[in-house]
Structure 1
Amino acid sequence: MKTRFILIQTSHAGNVGAAARALRTMGFDDLVLVAPRWPNVLRREETLQRASGALDVLAKARIVETLDEALDGITHLCATAMVPRDFGPPTRTPREHLGPLAAGGSQHVAFLFGSERFGMRNEDVYRCHVALTIPTAPDFGSLNLGAAIQVIAYEWRQALGGFGVSQAAAPAQLADAQALAGMLSHWEQSLVDIGFLDPAAPKKLMPRLTQLFNRAQPTMEEIHILRGIAKMMAQPRRPSAQADDGKPAPATDS
């Protein structure tokens, strides 16, 4: 399924760079500019800076003079308009429209974004199959062009199936029942040693601790830590760093 993002009469070079970066993060790279303010906008310093890491999208981007040229090969047009029109295509939210569109497949989709100064012209909106509007706070619906592109690109990528979340590290190995039972036995003995647990009247302390650690689902590394704590609990306390009279204890050779 072909996906194209079309920016019509963009006036700020930085927004072109922001658009390239927004597309790159969502795995898209087909960017077309229709009659931008700056003929060399793809090479301007502000564009390159805002594109940070998405220069490959800028390298592939095209500049055309008319919307007709930008729509070559496209079969489904999505306008982006914050202000509903009295006449024209239906107005829907991205999530409402894009899910069924992706499920249908076979369409070549273009998302059209108007000028920062005056938005999309009515005649361009009328050519589209839908007008997408991003739900915002009722008292402040102003979205920067780069931000609007990022939202639409994200919603479309999610509709297409999205990307998996990268794990920072391999999942930790959960402790098995034998390891957990061994740790609890170790803790039981240490709790008796420090006088916290009376073996003659244990009540429900150990069953409650068993339920606690079952809910926690400790890893093997955490089991080792807990057994280390139990080991230290059962050992005699170390001498204080200060003598009984409050003066520092004399240093000893080691």
Structure 2
Amino acid sequence: MKTRFVLIQTSHAGNVGAAARAMKVMGFDDLVLVQPRWPDVLQREEALQRASGAEDVLAKARIVASLDEALDGVDTLCATAMTPRDFGPPTAAPREHLPGLARSAQGVAFLFGPERFGMANEDVYRCHVALSIPANPAYGSLNLAAAIQVIAYEWRQALGGYAVQPAAHEGALADAQAVAGMLAHWEGALVDLGFLDPAAPKKLMPRLNQMFNRARLTPEEIHILRGVAKAMTEAARGRPPRR
């Protein structure tokens, strides 16, 4: 779905770069600036530094002279406003409103006003909804980039989200044979230490087996545990363990 982030009369170049970074993290890259304070804001050093790897979003961004120009190709406008406006659109929390919007809209623009004053009433009035991020009633002031990050995250979730990637070691787990071999090595070492009585082993080895199964060991971890078992045996037999 077409998704656009529109920043109206942004005054701080760093916020533009940080906004690009927040967008890219959630997979969005359509950024439009309406009458920013700095005509060259997309090339300013502070913006590039705060983009921190999202320079491609800045390179693609557009600067326009009016809000009308920023809204071509989108059919649904979402204001971001902490305070409801009289005669304005309904106010809703992003998490409650955005899933329904994801099912019905064809192109969505999220509008953000100047850092100091927020969106002007006339701009809010043209929107279909005013998104208000639930926050501490005593201190609800969000930095522009932080607000963009929250909206971008909630919108990405409404669109289906991203799957959480497994830890790097997952997918390279030790096989059952390797785990069994390591356990046999440990069993011998524990006997050598006198910790395990082979005549009355009770449930020690099955419990260790379950513990190591829960750990989801990698081949490298199996190697480490075998080294520990070897050191235990050498210590039990009176030889100094190898370093």
Alignment partner, residue 198 of structure 1 = 197
CA–CA distance in 2 between the matches of 1:52 and 1:227? Answer: 44
Alpha-carbon RMSD across the aligned residues, in angstroms, is: 2.4
Alignment partner, residue 85 of structure 2 = 85
CA–CA distance in 2 between the matches of 1:49 and 1:177? Answer: 49
Aligned residue type for 1:157: R
- Structure 1 residue 162: Cα displacement: 2.7
Q: Mean alpha-carbon deviation: is it higher for 68-77 or for 213-222?
A: 213-222
CA–CA distance in 1 between the matches of 2:233 and 2:181? Answer: 16
CA–CA distance in 2 between the matches of 1:60 and 1:239? Answer: 65
Task: Tell me if structure 2 keeps the 8 A contact 1:172–1:219.
Answer: no
Alignment partner, residue 208 of structure 1 = 207
Aligned residue type for 2:84: P
Aligned residue type for 2:226: R
The alignment's TM-score, normalised by the length of structure 1, stands at 0.82
Structure-to-structure mapping, 1:103-142, within 5 angstroms: 103-104=103-104, 106-142=105-141
For residues 228 and 130 of structure 1, do their structure 2 counterparts lie closer, same or farther at Cα, with a shift above 3 Å needed? Answer: same
CA–CA distance in 1 between the matches of 2:225 and 2:53? Answer: 45
Aligned residue type for 2:7: L
Task: Tell me if structure 2 keeps the 8 A contact 1:19–1:146.
Answer: yes
2:102 matched to 1:102?
yes
**How many percent identity over aligned positions?**
77
Task: Tell me if structure 1 keeps the 8 A contact 2:78–2:111.
Answer: yes
CA–CA distance in 2 between the matches of 1:45 and 1:221? Answer: 45
Alignment partner, residue 154 of structure 1 = 153
The alignment's TM-score, normalised by the length of structure 2, stands at 0.85
- Structure 1 residue 168: Cα displacement: 6.7
Structure-to-structure mapping, 1:1-254, within 5 angstroms: 1-104=1-104, 106-165=105-164, 169=168, 171-235=170-234, 236-238=237-239
- Structure 1 residue 170: Cα displacement: 5.4
CA–CA distance in 2 between the matches of 1:206 and 1:55? Answer: 56
Task: Tell me if structure 1 keeps the 8 A contact 2:169–2:218.
Answer: no
- Structure 1 residue 141: Cα displacement: 0.6
- Structure 1 residue 172: Cα displacement: 4.9
Task: Tell me if structure 2 keeps the 8 A contact 1:20–1:29.
Answer: yes
Unmatched segments (≥5 aa) in structure 1: 241-254
Unmatched segments (≥5 aa) in structure 2: none
CA–CA distance in 2 between the matches of 1:48 and 1:232? Answer: 54
Number of aligned pairs?
Answer: 239
- Structure 1 residue 115: Cα displacement: 1.2
